[in-house]
Chain A
């Protein structure tokens, strides 16, 4: 299969050290588990932050994710990449949290969202920031199902097989859901100009 993103091979690259830490952590070595946390904490936090759009909440939930991982570690099997397994726990935690909130947050429409011109210098930087902000707002408008698959693919660089594993769906479904998610995002966001389609 084509389309394996370079970052998806991160687990394979760090295998030896991580495998040792995993073996020790599974035997109850808290310090080894701490080393694993250090390897993956940024990724788990980043995903939760973008899913929940709340820094403090994401930080607390990241801790919970690792505590859950520690408790479930004896049940982990090496067939599943540890990072994918962690993202699976994080994804479930994020969905639970969103369900608890029961709130659909809509992005505000103010804050000067006019599209900046393509002039170089400060204007260009400003335009770039506007574009990023607009994408973040558009992401917040998506259903959790679409947001999670886009973040896992585009930000975390998961391959289709890994996406299937994290989301618990078939690879064919990954393909169609990803297409629907992109289509939904493009309804709110023009990637060329950064303009929002409100």
Chain B
């Protein structure tokens, strides 16, 4: 029921809902309903007042000061979008599946390859190998080959007990004799 018509009826009959008056102010009612409502308002001071308020509201909006952007967003956006290289992705998305597959099979250009995740993995493994090699080279001079030292150390746990004869030459160290 119309809030401006609390009794629910006026001299010209039951008052319409606010929704109908709002639509009437917008001229958004079918012509028959609109005519009926206007006839009601002619005899109903409350609905007339409400309709006048709704129409005045529209005028108040129309009188609001203009808000101007004062900047050309388009110029800024075009640069931003061009830098984003979005169109390539869009073209790929729009093209048929065989074109997309052909695109994938095509040898990558150095630039595209350089940005791919595969190139990143290859670079990481390569870097690891190179650093490992570098470390090996640095380690090498610090531990020169010492075959005798190693063998002597190992002989503590050898198969031939100390004092025994060696079964064959060279089996018990460089001398080939018992320790």
Q: A interface vs B, CB < 8 Å?
A: 1-3, 27-31, 33-35, 37-38, 41-42, 45-46, 49-50, 59, 62-63, 66-67, 70-71, 73-74, 128, 131-132, 135-136, 150, 153-155, 160, 175-176, 178-179, 182-183, 185-186, 189, 191-192, 194
Distance (whole angstroms) from the CB of A171 to the closest CB of chain B: 9
Question: Across the interface, do B93 and A37 meet the contact criterion of CB distance under 8 Å?
Answer: no
Q: Which residue of A lies closest to B33 (CB)?
A: A2
Q: Which residue of B lies closest to A154 (CB)?
A: B61
**Proximity string of chain B (2-40) to chain A, C-beta cutoff 8 Å, 1 when within and 0 when not:** 010000000000000111011100111111001000000
Q: Which of B51-106 contact A (CB under 8 A)?
A: 52-54, 56-69, 71-78, 80-82, 86-88, 90-91, 93-94
Question: Across the interface, do A30 and B81 meet the contact criterion of CB distance under 8 Å?
Answer: yes
In this complex, the interface size class of chain B, counting residues with CB under 8 Å from chain A, is: 35 or more
Question: Across the interface, do B77 and A63 meet the contact criterion of CB distance under 8 Å?
Answer: yes
Q: Which residue of A lies closest to B19 (CB)?
A: A179
Contact sample, A vs B, 30 pairs, CB 8 Å cutoff: A1-B30, A2-B29, A2-B34, A3-B29, A28-B88, A29-B87, A30-B87, A34-B78, A37-B74, A37-B77, A46-B67, A50-B67, A59-B69, A59-B73, A63-B73, A67-B81, A74-B90, A136-B64, A153-B26, A154-B57, A155-B64, A160-B26, A175-B28, A176-B19, A182-B22, A185-B57, A186-B57, A189-B57, A191-B60, A192-B52
Q: Which residue of B lies closest to A136 (CB)?
A: B64
Bound together, the chains give a CA A37 to CA B73 distance in angstroms of 7
Distance (whole angstroms) from the CB of A148 to the closest CB of chain B: 14
Question: Across the interface, do A135 and B81 meet the contact criterion of CB distance under 8 Å?
Answer: no
Contacts of B58 in A (CB 8 A): 154
Question: Across the interface, do A132 and B56 meet the contact criterion of CB distance under 8 Å?
Answer: no
Q: Which residue of A lies closest to B80 (CB)?
A: A67
Bound together, the chains give a CA A175 to CA B18 distance in angstroms of 10
Distance (whole angstroms) from the CB of A138 to the closest CB of chain B: 9
* Chain A facing B: main interface SS: helix
Bound together, the chains give a CA A131 to CA B56 distance in angstroms of 12
Question: Across the interface, do A182 and B23 meet the contact criterion of CB distance under 8 Å?
Answer: no
A2-B28 contact in complex given A42-B68, A70-B81, C-beta closer than 8 Å: yes
